[in-house]
Structure 1
Amino acid sequence: MKIFKLILLIFIAFITTSQEVEEIVVSAEKIEKNILDVTTTLNLYEGDFLDTQEITELGQLSYYVPNFNVQEQEVSYPSFSMRGIGNDSGALTFRIGRFLNGQSMGTTTMSSFALFDINRIEILKGPQPTTFGVDASAGAVNVVTKKAEIGKTYGGFSTGFGNFNRSYIETIHNFTLSENSALRLSTYYVDKDGYTKNLNGGSVNGRGNANAVRLSYTHNLTERLLADVVLYHEYNDSPGPGFKNIFIPSPRDQKNSIYGPVDFRNDELANTKRYLNTYQFLFDYTLNTNSSISFNLQNSSTRTDNYFEADGSFIQLFSAMNNRDDDLESYEIQYNFKNDILSFFVGFNEQTRSASESYEFYFDEGYLMSFLGVDALTSFQYGLPGILDPDFGGAGVFASNRIFDSALDLFSARASYGQAILANYQALPVPLYTENRFDRADEEATSLYFNSSIKVNENLTLTLGYRENETDSTASQSVPDCPRPLLLFGVCQTPSYEISNNFTDPGQGLFKYGANYAFNDDISFYANYSEGRINPVVAFSAVTPAEEVETIDVGFVIVNSKTFLSGAIYTYDFSNYSVQRLNYATGQTELDIMDTATIQGFEVYGSFNFGLNSKVFGSFGNNDAKLGSNTASGQSFDYAGNKWRFAPEYTYSLGIDISLNKFNTILAYTYQDDMFAEESNDPFTLIEGYGLLNLNLNYLMDEYEVSAFAKNLLDEKYLIDIGNTGGNIIGTPTVIAGAPLTIGVSISLNY
């Protein structure tokens, strides 16, 4: 450890030799600042980095960000994890905020969108109560798009193709309409097959398909009033996620590899469709030299249709159609003040959002009867709770988190279990059994917030932030009578019901304290203490207590003409942290409330220019995240001491960017350590660590550019998710393989 610290000090001394300072401006603290002046741990990725690395999804970017993981197996339900904290806690409740141009994309189906014509992406670590609100109790991701530029007229066109029948077109046009206004039109189109073959025809795992258009309009209405309008539409139609169940193997798949093809034999192909529309109206009025007022309006909506094979096998054991409509409206007014000593802003925000969701579940009753019988015999054989157990009924024998005994060969037991389900199948003369469920969640929230910075002297600046929040929430769930009863039982599998619940949360004041010390023109140090709070989760049948967290970050930022380097150490202390767990009596996913939990770690990222033609860039993160020992009620916790979901202990990336004459080459390697896909830490949900090598080549010819890319150059075999519905209900987890070698070429014209 001493040698490591010495090397680090020598490295910092080397890269911080006096250089001309290059200013980097961010809006991470609600107003634009030099990155050297912020008190928040921030990972910044500019549009040029995204373009040269061929990054068009947040999931692709996350490999380069320390202690950050995004699972985008399909656009409608991405999963975010930051420093080990993730898992959204309800249809409208988040720990990691998702924002577009500083405005909330605050439902799950809105938070994944194509990355094109981007100015920068800011990834903020730790609670952001005063800047982004309660939806950012663990952090926030803010995507800032490029605005229309007044006084400039230019454009660009790019097209290309690649394997998996990939075709690609992107256009950018910036028009000056007058001396006070400009219009920017950006379009993006990608279409490709899924990278996993379906033996019954077609493919799955095709995330990334998009047909999008963004219109940005900027107008200096008066000398004091500036208006920005952003209109965005995106349509996605992609092969759906390929959950694969290797414990119920297809007779067509001789190898039965977790990385191999799937065999889905339904009439409906696994597919994801989504419509996303967002309208933003941003106004800024200058009152005088020191103060201004900003006023923002936003309306966003999504319509999503998913058909997926939940059991991941060739049999009709459990498949589903999911339709969801989300709506969000918000407005925000903020007063800003700044002089040489003091700066502050105070604002008010009101937001209304809703999520309306329907499910249609299907299964073959012959396989259901086989599953019930085999599950009963298997639970008796191993002395484990099964689906018919009076205390743990509702899920298969191997869905229980209580079975992970080293004396049990879990893989062999599950394999035998799956084979027996196939062997005991008897076809019944009835169509597939169908059942429906409807969920709805509504929320109205108001916030009053304040943030101030005072310059104590030339080097030291102190900050104080505060937010109050009040929320009214309603949730409901209903199950109508099934179209026909089960053949053998004469009743519906689930009796019809309709339940609703509502709750008003008065909120709790949240503080954030920070300090920034400018060591010199190139280096600053900062520290912050921040409080985060997730509102009580209002489900149709219960309300969980508010989740609270206190964090401390201590870090540094170095910026000069050759170097950008930022790092931080951090600690988190949680109370009432909620963890998703299956209730075996009902088959429903529920939340356990932990008494306490802690996280600590460190991270660093940056780049260094050796000269005009070469630079290196990289990141490193270490994260120690384990669940607590007891629930808030004092009971022992089933998952005590387990690792958090999608929380690798180590992540790192390293890349080199070399330009020679008109050629540019970027070679980058990213690595994620072992991690569990479920907080149960079921041994089969362990995703082994993997590294990906990516190559980007560019040749510049005046206004033309020819590019080629290869993602996963070495064709590494890896998994991006394990568990899903198959593991939670049936007891045989399903897997989703990561993308294999993906290549493409394109040609661009700028004018």
Structure 2
Amino acid sequence: MNNKKNPRSCLPGVLEWSSCAGLLLWGPLVWAPFAAADGESTSAAPSGLVLDETQVTARHRLEKPQNVPIALSVLDGQQLDDSGLHDLQGIQERIPGLVVSGHNARYAGLGLRGFGATAYNDGLESSVGVFVDGVYLGRSGMAFSDLLDVERVEVLRGPQGTLYGKNTSAGAINIVTRQPTPYLESSAETSLGSHGTREYRGVLSGPLVDEVLMGRLSASQSTRDPEVENLHNGSRLNDQNRQALRGQLLWTPNARFSARLSADRAWQDETGNALLASQYSQETRNRARFMRYTLLPTDPYRRETQQDGLTRTRSQQNGLSLELNWTLDDEHVLTSLSGYRDWRFRNPRDGDGSGLAIAQADSGLDQRQFSQEWRLAGKVNDRLDYVVGLYYLQQHLDRTVDVDFGKDASAWFLGDRPELAAFGVTRPQQIPASLLNGAGQRFDGEQKGDSRAVFGQYTWRPLEPLELTFGLRYTEERKTGWISREVVNLAPLERDPISLVGGQLLRNVALGGSYYRRSTIDEHNVSGLLGLSYRFNEQVLGYASVSRGSKAGGINLDVVSLGVNPTYKAEQATSMEVGVKTQFWNDAARMNLALYQTDVDDYQALTYSRPVDTLSPPLRDNLLNVGAVRLRGIELDFAWRLNERIDLRWGTAWSDARYRDFENAPCPPGSGQWTCNLSGARLYNAPEWNTTAGVDWRYPLEAGLEAYSGLDYSLRSGYQGTLEGGPGSYQPGYGLANLRVGLRDHERSWSVEGWARNLFDKQYITAVYSLLGAGDYGVLPGDPRTVGLTLNVRH
């Protein structure tokens, strides 16, 4: 190694940074595999200078993340608490490649490596599975609640199915909560900030019966004042009001058995998540002109809207899980994991988003699920490990949507029709309001699903540094569902010419008629994993893998037009990945690199269906399977404890996500044609670049005190927010900076911290949705700059 540049010359305190930058990035990959055979380290860090260590259970055993041969990001719960990140929307700022979209829980979407964050449909599952203490959350919206008392969050990229109960095609988010402790532990935290921000969090944990029974109780509440002004009546919308509660019992009667019972509740009651217009179609502009109604400017950053109807979002979630662990002998552990969850979501909202009395909608979802997993893990010998399991998941979803039409509905839907000139109609008052006023639609639906699977993964080490992994999964999925529509409260048609000529046609278009459909799917699929890893030395692990995952097909829980399939096929993802995980300077620094390509067959997406006539609008009811999608990219994570006072981190993800076969894709609204060939185009909700960086600084003071600060930055390139990519649906790129500065004692038993989120008050969009009509889009702007103070005490 004498002919190599000594990495110790690039340690902190050396001014010649430019000559060392290349070595810092690539050095470990070049020289670490050729470390001295006698085990003497080729590089050294100051004594005791190592990164904080964490452990993960991604493979159902405790191990260091650097020893797991998959692309894996881990966020420690203490780091999340320090950064004030208590929901998935905030966590995406720390995980390159993770996209969390949706303006409320019903429209939630999660994406990894460029796919998965699709638009909503009540029958659609998530490509990214979310697990809380091993229990799968059946709907993405269930993960939009507060992350309470979290030990760590593990984000596994790529198909996952041979280790987890539920199969996933894009990846998995494993949320692990803190367990009860055999000693007394308590903490309380209060945050007060601008815009009426109030956050309260508390934990109490300790023994109930010495060495046998322990308990833990956690609670949180977060509120924020409304951000959007409703110019119609002076009210304000888009506030925040969320609470969460969790209680746990841990019973350990002996060294070979443990039982953990956990119950949690989360609820939300907010005036909003109202979307703000980013684009009006020509049709909407013509109708507004006829109604003598002035549309608001398409500037969502003004945070202004005009709505005459009620807008409110309410949800409640309850969970109960029981985990039993039997240590059969020193090498084998049997686990039973039972979980029940229910989720109720209600969303009354102004159906047209304007100050006119056109439509008021009210949506309701009731999700209930039960899951049971049996898992046996252990070692056959020093060279062979295994995990095998059985899984069952039962889900039941009830869905209701009520739409009631107001006095302006008739004139609005007919106001842009040139045919009315033949009757001398030039004013909205000439169109009888009774055509639609008071009428309503009642949608009901139900879906039941059963998922059964057997899975296993085996790890064999034929040589000490070589590890081979083989995983296999067989899954049966069955879903049955129905949907109906009923039209109610129709007034008798009047005898005026407009009613006689166009009244029934308008009702047919705006209301439709009675509708009922029942559908069933029954699927069987096989997933698998084949992996190889090689440990060159203590500092470098290289790996390669091929894996296949699946997301179940389903039933379109919407009224569909002629020519639209009522069901859709399963989504299949095949991923190839190579990577290297390194640690150097006696674990003062780590760097992980992964390259991947994923080919997705029958990618599930939602878009418009073609209008059935000139009066009818295009409906966003077409859940289709894209023929083929290709994803490829590079992911790089780097962390460095520069010295006892400074930690640095940096991560970036480049994603090239494209349609390979999509000749029948929808065109942007207003383009003059209906079908476009998007083969070769980039996917929607798939930013090309994601970067996150941060620095944490500590400075010891007298009297056992410590000053500290942290600066976090995340950057995301722009991307299309909808499949058809109409004007107004593009989400521009943005960068966000968060700053915190505080004082604490050296044992961290108390702290006082000032903070600023979105430090530079950047304007950005967090969600895009296609509104009613061809080419109308609404967006949800991100939070403005918020500053505040946090007080924390621990015992």
> More displaced, 676-685 or 346-355?
676-685
Identify the residue that residue 416 of structure 1 maps to in structure 2.
Answer: none
Helix, strand or coil at the partner of 1:481: strand
Say how many residue pairs are matched.
701
Normalising by structure 2, what TM-score?
Answer: 0.83
Q: For residues 224 and 685 of structure 1, do their structure 2 counterparts lie closer, same or farther at Cα, with a shift above 3 Å needed?
A: same
Helix, strand or coil at the partner of 1:129: coil
Identify the residue that residue 697 of structure 2 maps to in structure 1.
Answer: 658
Query: Is the contact between residue 290 and residue 337 of structure 1 (CA under 8 Å) also seen in structure 2?
Result: yes
> More displaced, 458-467 or 362-371?
362-371
> More displaced, 438-447 or 587-596?
587-596
Identify the residue that residue 262 of structure 1 maps to in structure 2.
Answer: 304
> More displaced, 247-256 or 104-113?
247-256
Separation of aligned partners in 2, 1:117 and 1:593 = 39
Q: How far 1:480 sits from its partner (Å)?
A: 1.5
Identify the residue that residue 526 of structure 1 maps to in structure 2.
Answer: 543
Identify the residue that residue 48 of structure 1 maps to in structure 2.
Answer: 78
Identify the residue that residue 226 of structure 2 maps to in structure 1.
Answer: 194
Identify the residue that residue 510 of structure 1 maps to in structure 2.
Answer: 527
Aligned residue among 322, 328, 343 for 2:369: 328
Aligned residue among 189, 205, 213 for 1:158: 189
Amino acid at match of 1:696: R
Q: How far 1:703 sits from its partner (Å)?
A: 2.9
Identify the residue that residue 342 of structure 1 maps to in structure 2.
Answer: 384
Q: For residues 442 and 486 of structure 1, do their structure 2 counterparts lie closer, same or farther at Cα, with a shift above 3 Å needed?
A: farther
Identify the residue that residue 496 of structure 1 maps to in structure 2.
Answer: 514
For 1:593-632, what aligned pairs fall within 5 Å after superposition?
Answer: 593-630=625-662
Query: Is the contact between residue 685 and residue 733 of structure 1 (CA under 8 Å) also seen in structure 2?
Result: yes
Identify the residue that residue 750 of structure 2 maps to in structure 1.
Answer: 704
Identify the residue that residue 724 of structure 2 maps to in structure 1.
Answer: 680
Separation of aligned partners in 1, 2:676 and 2:253 = 59
Identify the residue that residue 793 of structure 2 maps to in structure 1.
Answer: 749
Aligned residue among 461, 471, 476 for 2:467: 461
Aligned residue among 693, 711, 715 for 1:671: 715
Separation of aligned partners in 2, 1:460 and 1:426 = 81
Separation of aligned partners in 1, 2:298 and 2:662 = 40
Helix, strand or coil at the partner of 2:728: helix
Aligned residue among 370, 373, 379 for 2:412: 370
Q: How far 1:443 sits from its partner (Å)?
A: 0.1
Identify the residue that residue 255 of structure 2 maps to in structure 1.
Answer: 223
Q: How far 1:279 sits from its partner (Å)?
A: 0.6
Separation of aligned partners in 2, 1:673 and 1:749 = 39
Q: How far 1:743 sits from its partner (Å)?
A: 2.0
Structure 2 residue 526 is matched with structure 1 residue 480 = no
Q: How far 1:371 sits from its partner (Å)?
A: 3.9
Amino acid at match of 1:139: G
Q: How far 1:429 sits from its partner (Å)?
A: 4.7
Point out where structure 1 has 5 or more consecutive residues left out of the alignment. 379-420
Identify the residue that residue 283 of structure 1 maps to in structure 2.
Answer: 324
Aligned residue among 411, 424, 437 for 2:443: 437
Q: How far 1:95 sits from its partner (Å)?
A: 1.1
Q: How far 1:647 sits from its partner (Å)?
A: 0.6
Aligned residue among 301, 313, 325 for 1:272: 313
Structure 2 residue 336 is matched with structure 1 residue 292 = no
Q: How far 1:174 sits from its partner (Å)?
A: 1.0
Query: Is the contact between residue 298 and residue 331 of structure 1 (CA under 8 Å) also seen in structure 2?
Result: yes
Structure 2 residue 152 is matched with structure 1 residue 115 = no
Deviations 1:102-130 (Å, cap 9, x if unpaired)? 21011233222212311100111110011
Query: Is the contact between residue 597 and residue 628 of structure 1 (CA under 8 Å) also seen in structure 2?
Result: yes
Deviations 1:284-342 (Å, cap 9, x if unpaired)? 10111111110010000011111233543333444421111000101111111224211
Helix, strand or coil at the partner of 1:40: coil
Query: Is the contact between residue 307 and residue 353 of structure 2 (CA under 8 Å) also seen in structure 1?
Result: no
Deviations 1:541-579 (Å, cap 9, x if unpaired)? 633232222101111223453123222111011222232
Amino acid at match of 1:607: A
Q: How far 1:217 sits from its partner (Å)?
A: 1.5
Separation of aligned partners in 1, 2:604 and 2:21 = 37
Q: Which has the larger radius of gyration?
A: 2
Q: How far 1:10 sits from its partner (Å)?
A: 3.5
Amino acid at match of 1:455: R
Identify the residue that residue 548 of structure 1 maps to in structure 2.
Answer: 572
Q: How far 1:655 sits from its partner (Å)?
A: 1.3
Q: For residues 599 and 526 of structure 1, do their structure 2 counterparts lie closer, same or farther at Cα, with a shift above 3 Å needed?
A: same
Deviations 1:421-474 (Å, cap 9, x if unpaired)? 998676755545422211221101110001110112221111111100111211
Amino acid at match of 1:659: R
Helix, strand or coil at the partner of 2:90: helix
Identify the residue that residue 538 of structure 1 maps to in structure 2.
Answer: 555
> More displaced, 292-301 or 89-98?
89-98
Structure 2 residue 373 is matched with structure 1 residue 356 = no
Query: Is the contact between residue 592 and residue 637 of structure 2 (CA under 8 Å) also seen in structure 1?
Result: yes
Amino acid at match of 1:481: V
> More displaced, 226-235 or 588-597?
588-597
Q: For residues 665 and 479 of structure 1, do their structure 2 counterparts lie closer, same or farther at Cα, with a shift above 3 Å needed?
A: same
Aligned residue among 7, 17, 41 for 2:43: 17
| Identity over aligned pairs, percent | 21
Separation of aligned partners in 2, 1:683 and 1:588 = 16
Separation of aligned partners in 2, 1:102 and 1:360 = 36
Amino acid at match of 1:201: G
Separation of aligned partners in 2, 1:736 and 1:256 = 12
Q: For residues 747 and 576 of structure 1, do their structure 2 counterparts lie closer, same or farther at Cα, with a shift above 3 Å needed?
A: same
Helix, strand or coil at the partner of 1:369: helix
Separation of aligned partners in 1, 2:661 and 2:93 = 31
Aligned residue among 545, 565, 576 for 2:591: 565
Structure 2 residue 123 is matched with structure 1 residue 91 = yes
Identify the residue that residue 714 of structure 1 maps to in structure 2.
Answer: 760
Separation of aligned partners in 1, 2:740 and 2:429 = 51
Separation of aligned partners in 2, 1:632 and 1:370 = 32
Query: Is the contact between residue 90 and residue 537 of structure 1 (CA under 8 Å) also seen in structure 2?
Result: no
Q: For residues 517 and 311 of structure 1, do their structure 2 counterparts lie closer, same or farther at Cα, with a shift above 3 Å needed?
A: farther
Helix, strand or coil at the partner of 2:92: helix
Deviations 1:46-88 (Å, cap 9, x if unpaired)? 1111111110111111022111111253234321111111126
Separation of aligned partners in 1, 2:429 and 2:86 = 45
Q: What value does the CA root-mean-square deviation take over the aligned residues?
A: 3.0
Q: For residues 260 and 319 of structure 1, do their structure 2 counterparts lie closer, same or farther at Cα, with a shift above 3 Å needed?
A: farther
Aligned residue among 739, 749, 766 for 1:695: 739
> More displaced, 678-687 or 283-292?
678-687
Deviations 1:636-684 (Å, cap 9, x if unpaired)? 8654333212111111112111112221111111111011100112232
Separation of aligned partners in 1, 2:573 and 2:121 = 15
Identify the residue that residue 396 of structure 1 maps to in structure 2.
Answer: none
Q: For residues 306 and 186 of structure 1, do their structure 2 counterparts lie closer, same or farther at Cα, with a shift above 3 Å needed?
A: same
Helix, strand or coil at the partner of 2:579: strand
> More displaced, 190-199 or 99-108?
190-199
Q: For residues 5 and 550 of structure 1, do their structure 2 counterparts lie closer, same or farther at Cα, with a shift above 3 Å needed?
A: farther
Helix, strand or coil at the partner of 2:144: coil
Helix, strand or coil at the partner of 1:259: helix
Q: How far 1:749 sits from its partner (Å)?
A: 1.5
Q: For residues 676 and 725 of structure 1, do their structure 2 counterparts lie closer, same or farther at Cα, with a shift above 3 Å needed?
A: same
Helix, strand or coil at the partner of 2:771: helix
Separation of aligned partners in 2, 1:475 and 1:316 = 33
Amino acid at match of 1:750: R
Normalising by structure 1, what TM-score?
Answer: 0.87
Amino acid at match of 1:116: L
Separation of aligned partners in 2, 1:482 and 1:708 = 56
Separation of aligned partners in 2, 1:78 and 1:697 = 33
Q: For residues 447 and 263 of structure 1, do their structure 2 counterparts lie closer, same or farther at Cα, with a shift above 3 Å needed?
A: same
Deviations 1:247-305 (Å, cap 9, x if unpaired)? 3699899865221133333242x211111101110011011111111001000001111
Amino acid at match of 1:501: S
Helix, strand or coil at the partner of 2:207: strand
Helix, strand or coil at the partner of 2:267: strand
Q: How far 1:707 sits from its partner (Å)?
A: 1.7
